[in-house]
Amino acid sequence: MTPAETRRPDIPHSPSEPAPAAPVVAEPFPTRRTGDAPPEAYARQAGAGYLLIIVSGIYAEFFVRGRLIVPGDAAATASNVTAAEPLFRTALASEFVMLLCDVGVALALYVVFRSVSRNLALLAAFFRLVHAAIVGANLLNSYIPLLLLGSGLSSLGMAQQQALALMYLEAHAYGYAVGLVFFGAYCLVLGFLVLRSRYVPRLLGVLLLLAAAGYLADSFARTLLSDYAAVESTFALLVFGPAFVAELSFALWLVVRGVRVPEERAGGGGVQ
Protein backbone atom coordinates (compact mmCIF):
# COMPACT_ATOMS: atom_id res chain seq x y z
CA MET A 1 0.00 0.00 0.00
CA THR A 2 1.38 3.41 -0.94
CA PRO A 3 1.69 6.29 1.57
CA ALA A 4 -1.06 8.14 -0.27
CA GLU A 5 -3.42 5.21 0.21
CA THR A 6 -2.81 5.15 3.97
CA ARG A 7 -3.99 8.73 4.46
CA ARG A 8 -7.50 9.58 5.56
CA PRO A 9 -9.77 9.95 2.53
CA ASP A 10 -11.53 12.99 4.02
CA ILE A 11 -8.35 15.12 3.99
CA PRO A 12 -7.51 16.51 0.55
CA HIS A 13 -3.89 16.17 -0.40
CA SER A 14 -1.54 16.04 -3.28
CA PRO A 15 0.65 12.98 -3.82
CA SER A 16 3.69 15.25 -3.83
CA GLU A 17 2.78 16.97 -0.52
CA PRO A 18 4.21 15.72 2.81
CA ALA A 19 1.83 14.43 5.44
CA PRO A 20 0.58 17.25 7.73
CA ALA A 21 2.24 17.47 11.13
CA ALA A 22 0.25 16.39 14.15
CA PRO A 23 -1.20 19.34 16.11
CA VAL A 24 0.62 20.32 19.31
CA VAL A 25 -1.63 20.16 22.35
CA ALA A 26 -0.65 22.51 25.19
CA GLU A 27 -0.26 20.85 28.54
CA PRO A 28 -2.43 22.28 31.33
CA PHE A 29 -0.66 24.54 33.81
CA PRO A 30 0.25 22.41 36.85
CA THR A 31 -1.30 23.41 40.13
CA ARG A 32 1.99 22.80 41.92
CA ARG A 33 5.29 21.18 41.00
CA THR A 34 5.97 17.86 42.59
CA GLY A 35 7.94 18.33 45.80
CA ASP A 36 6.98 21.99 46.29
CA ALA A 37 5.59 22.98 49.66
CA PRO A 38 1.92 24.08 49.61
CA PRO A 39 1.06 27.79 49.97
CA GLU A 40 -0.13 27.09 53.52
CA ALA A 41 3.42 26.12 54.54
CA TYR A 42 4.86 29.23 52.90
CA ALA A 43 2.29 31.35 54.74
CA ARG A 44 3.39 30.04 58.13
CA GLN A 45 7.06 30.45 57.20
CA ALA A 46 6.35 34.06 56.19
CA GLY A 47 4.53 34.68 59.47
CA ALA A 48 7.36 33.22 61.54
CA GLY A 49 9.92 35.28 59.63
CA TYR A 50 7.79 38.40 60.05
CA LEU A 51 7.59 37.88 63.82
CA LEU A 52 11.35 37.45 63.99
CA ILE A 53 11.79 40.69 62.04
CA ILE A 54 9.50 42.54 64.45
CA VAL A 55 11.29 41.22 67.54
CA SER A 56 14.76 41.90 66.10
CA GLY A 57 13.79 45.41 65.02
CA ILE A 58 12.30 46.35 68.38
CA TYR A 59 15.38 45.02 70.17
CA ALA A 60 17.85 46.88 67.94
CA GLU A 61 16.01 50.19 67.86
CA PHE A 62 14.45 50.54 71.31
CA PHE A 63 16.48 48.33 73.63
CA VAL A 64 19.90 49.22 72.21
CA ARG A 65 19.99 52.42 70.14
CA GLY A 66 17.31 54.08 72.21
CA ARG A 67 19.32 53.46 75.37
CA LEU A 68 22.77 54.36 74.04
CA ILE A 69 22.20 57.28 71.68
CA VAL A 70 21.54 60.65 73.29
CA PRO A 71 20.22 63.05 70.61
CA GLY A 72 22.33 66.21 70.41
CA ASP A 73 24.88 65.03 72.97
CA ALA A 74 27.93 63.63 71.20
CA ALA A 75 30.01 63.12 74.33
CA ALA A 76 27.32 61.19 76.20
CA THR A 77 26.55 59.07 73.15
CA ALA A 78 30.22 58.26 72.61
CA SER A 79 30.62 57.31 76.26
CA ASN A 80 27.56 55.05 76.14
CA VAL A 81 28.58 53.29 72.94
CA THR A 82 32.16 52.79 74.07
CA ALA A 83 31.12 51.44 77.47
CA ALA A 84 28.53 49.08 75.96
CA GLU A 85 30.14 48.21 72.65
CA PRO A 86 29.22 44.48 72.84
CA LEU A 87 25.58 45.49 73.36
CA PHE A 88 25.78 47.92 70.46
CA ARG A 89 27.14 45.16 68.22
CA THR A 90 24.22 42.90 69.08
CA ALA A 91 21.97 45.51 67.47
CA LEU A 92 23.95 45.12 64.24
CA ALA A 93 23.61 41.35 64.48
CA SER A 94 19.86 41.74 65.02
CA GLU A 95 19.63 43.74 61.83
CA PHE A 96 21.47 40.96 59.99
CA VAL A 97 18.72 38.61 61.17
CA MET A 98 16.11 41.08 59.93
CA LEU A 99 17.68 41.31 56.49
CA LEU A 100 17.96 37.54 56.08
CA CYS A 101 14.33 37.13 57.13
CA ASP A 102 13.27 39.93 54.74
CA VAL A 103 14.54 37.92 51.77
CA GLY A 104 12.76 34.78 52.94
CA VAL A 105 9.51 36.60 53.68
CA ALA A 106 9.58 38.26 50.25
CA LEU A 107 9.77 34.85 48.56
CA ALA A 108 7.20 33.20 50.82
CA LEU A 109 4.58 35.92 50.39
CA TYR A 110 5.12 35.88 46.64
CA VAL A 111 4.19 32.19 46.64
CA VAL A 112 1.17 32.84 48.86
CA PHE A 113 -0.28 35.66 46.74
CA ARG A 114 0.83 34.84 43.21
CA SER A 115 -2.53 33.14 42.63
CA VAL A 116 -4.19 36.53 43.17
CA SER A 117 -1.92 38.37 40.74
CA ARG A 118 1.49 37.09 39.77
CA ASN A 119 2.68 40.51 38.62
CA LEU A 120 1.56 42.34 41.76
CA ALA A 121 2.99 39.64 44.03
CA LEU A 122 6.30 39.94 42.18
CA LEU A 123 6.18 43.73 42.46
CA ALA A 124 5.64 43.47 46.22
CA ALA A 125 8.61 41.11 46.52
CA PHE A 126 10.80 43.53 44.54
CA PHE A 127 9.81 46.45 46.77
CA ARG A 128 10.67 44.44 49.88
CA LEU A 129 14.03 43.34 48.48
CA VAL A 130 14.95 46.93 47.56
CA HIS A 131 14.05 47.96 51.10
CA ALA A 132 16.31 45.22 52.49
CA ALA A 133 19.20 46.29 50.23
CA ILE A 134 18.93 49.92 51.39
CA VAL A 135 18.72 48.94 55.06
CA GLY A 136 21.75 46.69 54.62
CA ALA A 137 23.80 49.48 53.06
CA ASN A 138 22.57 51.82 55.80
CA LEU A 139 24.26 49.63 58.43
CA LEU A 140 27.53 51.34 57.45
CA ASN A 141 26.24 54.33 59.38
CA SER A 142 26.39 52.16 62.49
CA TYR A 143 29.79 50.63 61.76
CA ILE A 144 31.61 53.90 61.09
CA PRO A 145 31.04 55.28 64.66
CA LEU A 146 32.74 52.17 66.04
CA LEU A 147 35.74 52.88 63.81
CA LEU A 148 35.81 56.55 64.81
CA LEU A 149 35.52 55.92 68.53
CA GLY A 150 37.86 52.95 68.60
CA SER A 151 40.63 53.98 66.22
CA GLY A 152 41.87 57.10 67.98
CA LEU A 153 42.59 58.98 64.76
CA SER A 154 45.44 61.34 65.44
CA SER A 155 44.24 63.82 62.80
CA LEU A 156 40.98 64.40 64.68
CA GLY A 157 40.44 65.63 68.18
CA MET A 158 38.28 63.71 70.59
CA ALA A 159 35.40 66.18 70.26
CA GLN A 160 35.51 65.89 66.47
CA GLN A 161 35.48 62.11 66.58
CA GLN A 162 32.51 62.13 68.93
CA ALA A 163 30.64 64.65 66.80
CA LEU A 164 31.22 62.61 63.63
CA ALA A 165 30.17 59.42 65.40
CA LEU A 166 26.90 61.02 66.49
CA MET A 167 26.31 62.38 62.99
CA TYR A 168 26.60 58.90 61.48
CA LEU A 169 24.39 57.39 64.15
CA GLU A 170 21.71 59.98 63.50
CA ALA A 171 22.13 59.52 59.73
CA HIS A 172 21.06 55.93 60.29
CA ALA A 173 17.50 57.18 60.84
CA TYR A 174 17.54 58.99 57.49
CA GLY A 175 18.85 55.93 55.70
CA TYR A 176 16.06 53.93 57.27
CA ALA A 177 13.56 56.54 56.07
CA VAL A 178 14.76 55.98 52.51
CA GLY A 179 14.23 52.26 52.91
CA LEU A 180 10.75 52.83 54.34
CA VAL A 181 9.67 54.51 51.10
CA PHE A 182 10.02 51.14 49.39
CA PHE A 183 8.66 49.28 52.39
CA GLY A 184 5.61 51.54 52.33
CA ALA A 185 5.13 50.74 48.65
CA TYR A 186 5.46 47.05 49.53
CA CYS A 187 2.74 47.36 52.21
CA LEU A 188 0.53 49.18 49.71
CA VAL A 189 0.75 46.39 47.12
CA LEU A 190 0.48 43.68 49.79
CA GLY A 191 -2.63 45.29 51.28
CA PHE A 192 -4.23 45.35 47.83
CA LEU A 193 -3.37 41.67 47.32
CA VAL A 194 -4.90 40.79 50.69
CA LEU A 195 -8.11 42.64 49.79
CA ARG A 196 -8.37 40.72 46.51
CA SER A 197 -7.32 37.34 47.87
CA ARG A 198 -10.56 36.38 49.68
CA TYR A 199 -8.57 33.89 51.79
CA VAL A 200 -7.07 36.46 54.17
CA PRO A 201 -9.34 38.74 56.25
CA ARG A 202 -10.00 42.02 54.46
CA LEU A 203 -9.44 43.90 57.72
CA LEU A 204 -5.76 42.93 57.54
CA GLY A 205 -5.61 44.39 54.05
CA VAL A 206 -7.09 47.67 55.28
CA LEU A 207 -4.58 47.79 58.16
CA LEU A 208 -1.68 47.18 55.77
CA LEU A 209 -2.90 50.01 53.52
CA LEU A 210 -2.99 52.32 56.55
CA ALA A 211 0.52 51.22 57.48
CA ALA A 212 1.67 51.95 53.93
CA ALA A 213 0.20 55.45 54.05
CA GLY A 214 1.92 56.09 57.38
CA TYR A 215 5.33 54.86 56.26
CA LEU A 216 5.19 56.95 53.09
CA ALA A 217 3.94 60.03 54.93
CA ASP A 218 6.71 59.79 57.52
CA SER A 219 9.49 59.31 54.96
CA PHE A 220 8.33 62.21 52.80
CA ALA A 221 7.79 64.43 55.85
CA ARG A 222 11.32 63.70 57.04
CA THR A 223 12.56 64.75 53.60
CA LEU A 224 10.36 67.76 52.93
CA LEU A 225 10.02 69.36 56.38
CA SER A 226 13.01 71.34 57.58
CA ASP A 227 11.55 71.30 61.12
CA TYR A 228 10.70 67.59 61.13
CA ALA A 229 12.25 67.19 64.58
CA ALA A 230 9.41 69.30 66.00
CA VAL A 231 6.78 66.82 64.76
CA GLU A 232 8.80 63.60 64.95
CA SER A 233 7.08 62.38 68.12
CA THR A 234 3.67 62.97 66.56
CA PHE A 235 4.60 60.95 63.50
CA ALA A 236 6.01 58.21 65.71
CA LEU A 237 2.66 57.92 67.48
CA LEU A 238 0.37 58.25 64.47
CA VAL A 239 2.46 56.24 62.02
CA PHE A 240 4.37 53.50 63.75
CA GLY A 241 1.66 52.57 66.24
CA PRO A 242 -0.90 51.55 63.58
CA ALA A 243 1.87 50.04 61.43
CA PHE A 244 2.99 47.87 64.34
CA VAL A 245 -0.58 46.67 64.91
CA ALA A 246 -1.05 45.93 61.20
CA GLU A 247 2.16 43.97 60.71
CA LEU A 248 1.92 42.08 64.00
CA SER A 249 -1.69 41.10 63.29
CA PHE A 250 -0.80 39.96 59.79
CA ALA A 251 2.18 37.93 61.03
CA LEU A 252 0.15 36.26 63.79
CA TRP A 253 -2.63 35.41 61.36
CA LEU A 254 -0.17 33.74 59.00
CA VAL A 255 1.38 31.70 61.80
CA VAL A 256 -1.81 30.68 63.62
CA ARG A 257 -4.31 30.34 60.79
CA GLY A 258 -2.16 30.13 57.68
CA VAL A 259 -4.04 30.48 54.40
CA ARG A 260 -6.36 28.17 52.55
CA VAL A 261 -5.72 28.86 48.87
CA PRO A 262 -8.48 27.30 46.74
CA GLU A 263 -7.07 24.40 44.71
CA GLU A 264 -8.01 25.96 41.39
CA ARG A 265 -6.00 29.10 42.34
CA ALA A 266 -2.98 27.42 43.92
CA GLY A 267 -1.16 27.09 40.62
CA GLY A 268 -0.64 30.81 40.32
CA GLY A 269 -2.75 31.57 37.27
CA GLY A 270 -4.64 34.45 38.78
CA VAL A 271 -5.33 37.88 37.38
CA GLN A 272 -2.23 39.52 36.03
Distances (CA, A) of 254 to 105, 114, 115, 187, 242: 11, 16, 17, 15, 18
Provide the 8-state DSSP code for 265: G
User: Is residue 7 in some structural domain?
Assistant: no
User: Is residue 151 in some structural domain?
Assistant: yes
Q: Which domain does 203 fall in, by range?
A: 37-258
User: Is residue 20 in some structural domain?
Assistant: no
Task: Give residue-wise pLDDT tens across range 32-78.
Answer: 554 567 778 899 999 999 999 999 999 999 999 999 999 889 999 99
Q: What's the total number of domains in the chain?
A: 1
Distance between CA atoms of 128 and 114, rounded to whole angstroms?
Answer: 15
User: Is residue 6 in some structural domain?
Assistant: no
User: Is residue 167 in some structural domain?
Assistant: yes
Average model confidence (pLDDT) across the chain: 84
Of 94-98, 146-150, 174-178, minimum mean pLDDT range: 146-150
User: Is residue 30 in some structural domain?
Assistant: no
User: Is residue 265 in some structural domain?
Assistant: no
Task: Give residue-wise pLDDT tens across range 177-209.
Answer: 999 999 999 999 999 999 998 888 999 999 999
Q: What confidence tier does 271 reach under pLDDT thresholds 50, 70, 90?
A: very low
AA identity, residue 156: L
Residues with Cβ within 8 Å of 195's Cβ and at least 6 positions away in sequence, in order, are 202, 205, 206, 209
Taking Cα atoms as reference points, which of 268, 269, 272, 271 lies closest to residue 111? Answer: 268
User: Is residue 23 in some structural domain?
Assistant: no
Distance between CA atoms of 166 and 159, rounded to whole angstroms?
Answer: 11
